[in-house]
């Protein structure tokens, strides 16, 4: 009897169908892995450590709060973006686990308000979907146990994922915010969108 459908096809035809299905599943899996992957492998940047920062060592209670790094996974504050009407929790660490909960603080950088480079990262498809609409002069506000720190954006740039200038030391208080780029890229994005902002007010 003549058979129709998948099982009635020749062996070559069945193998061709199975190959197409397997390739389709593989492409979807690759895209999902790229989306779920941590924002950066920031630990590979030079001049970083997991110890305490050396900023604002005047001995005040606020400066000591700036110095103290919480445990990985602990919430350390809130990032507010007034021009977008958005607020996000800041969590210590930048692994996939921390970035699922909000904006991650890179442990190799100073705490918010510190006299050096404070680095925050977040996913482009969760917390930072609108980050690309920010421009020079816009404000970023970080609130922690040490106080409220307001930063003004001084530059935006796009760099390759392995660019080493995202985490660098600064002679003044700077906030660097990074996310993957392009924003609508499917899979593991090749670049990073970077905002740099100077501290203009803090207490």
Active site residue 180: yes
Distance (Å, rounded) from C-alpha 187 to C-alpha 89?
25
Q: Tell me if 110 sits within 8 A of 55, measured CB to CB.
A: yes
Scanning 9-60, the segments in alpha helix (DSSP H) are: 11-36
The residue among 201, 202, 157, 191 whose CA lies nearest residue 177 is 157
Catalytic residue, candidates 69, 105, 118, 180: 180
Catalytic residue, candidates 69, 105, 118, 123: 123
User: Percentages helix, strand, coil for the chain, rounded to the nearest 5?
Assistant: 25, 30, 45
| Residue 27 Cα distances to 20, 33, 188, angstroms | 11, 10, 12
Active site residue 105: no
The residues annotated as belonging to the active site are 123, 180
């Amino acid at each position: 009897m003549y058979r129709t459908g998948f099982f009635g096809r020749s062996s070559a035809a069945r193998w061709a169908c199975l190959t197409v299905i397997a390739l389709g599943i593989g492409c979807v899996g690759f895209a999902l892995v790229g989306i779920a992957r941590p924002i950066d492998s920031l630990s590979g940047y030079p001049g970083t450590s997991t110890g305490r920062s050396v900023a604002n060592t005047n001995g005040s209670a606020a400066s000591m709060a700036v110095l103290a790094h919480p445990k990985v996974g602990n919430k350390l504050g809130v990032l507010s973006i007034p021009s977008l009407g958005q607020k996000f929790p800041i969590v210590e660490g930048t692994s996939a686990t921390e970035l699922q909960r909000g904006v991650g603080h890179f442990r190799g950088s100073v705490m918010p308000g510190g006299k050096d480079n404070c680095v925050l990262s977040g996913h482009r498809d969760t917390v930072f979907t609108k980050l690309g609409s920010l421009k020079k002069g816009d404000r970023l506000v970080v609130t922690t146990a040490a106080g409220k720190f307001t930063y003004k954006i001084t530059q935006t740039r796009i760099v390759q994922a392995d660019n080493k200038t995202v985490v660098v030391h600064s002679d003044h208080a700077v906030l660097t915010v990074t996310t993957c780029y392009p924003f609508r890229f499917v899979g593991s994005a090749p670049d990073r969108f970077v905002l740099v902002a100077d501290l203009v007010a803090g207490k």
